[in-house]
A = this chain, B = another copy of it.
Amino acid sequence: MGEEIRKDNQVHSLGKADLHLSFGSQFGYLDLVQEVCDSISRMVGFDEDTRYWICLSIRESVSNAIQHGNKMDENKKVGIQFESFPDRLVILVQDEGEGFDESQVRDPLDPKNLLKPGGRGVFFVRSFMDEVGFEPLPGGGLQMRMEKRLNHKKQGEEENDN
């Protein structure tokens, strides 16, 4: 009974992921962005828990691009570039805004900020990604660069799934 011929079902794994996405500034795309992020980071080989935190970071970054960068102007685009390497995933989030002075961003852990309603987005990204940077784009606009290494444990990854 039941001789199983289990065939390779990894035909679809990617050599090198390299995907670009762009859309008008609407929060309605956030779930889609999260799904794409999850698919790409699954292909790259991140476990479920790590993918959760990577994609939360991308949501935060895209939310900021929509809200602070493009100031909710639906005609302004958000661009996302996913690039995988054998040992890491690099994600670039681009907006058409003026950028900002990161030194002016308040520390959400400072006791005087602890009960502020906002100001935790960039902090989350820095907590869950390995490298984070902002750079102005040559043609105008801001690019947030995030990098996550494979097999690298950081805060938040020890917990099991809920």
Contacts and interface: CB of A to CB of B under 8 A. Distances in A.
Interface of A: 11-24, 26-32, 35-36, 39-40, 43, 74
A144 B65 CA distance: 31
A19 B21 contact: yes
A62 B8 CA distance: 23
Contacts of A31: 12, 39
28 contacts: A11-B27, A12-B28, A12-B31, A14-B26, A14-B28, A14-B29, A15-B24, A15-B26, A15-B74, A16-B74, A18-B23, A18-B24, A19-B21, A19-B22, A19-B23, A19-B29, A19-B32, A20-B20, A20-B22, A20-B23, A21-B21, A28-B43, A31-B39, A32-B39, A35-B35, A35-B36, A35-B39, A36-B36
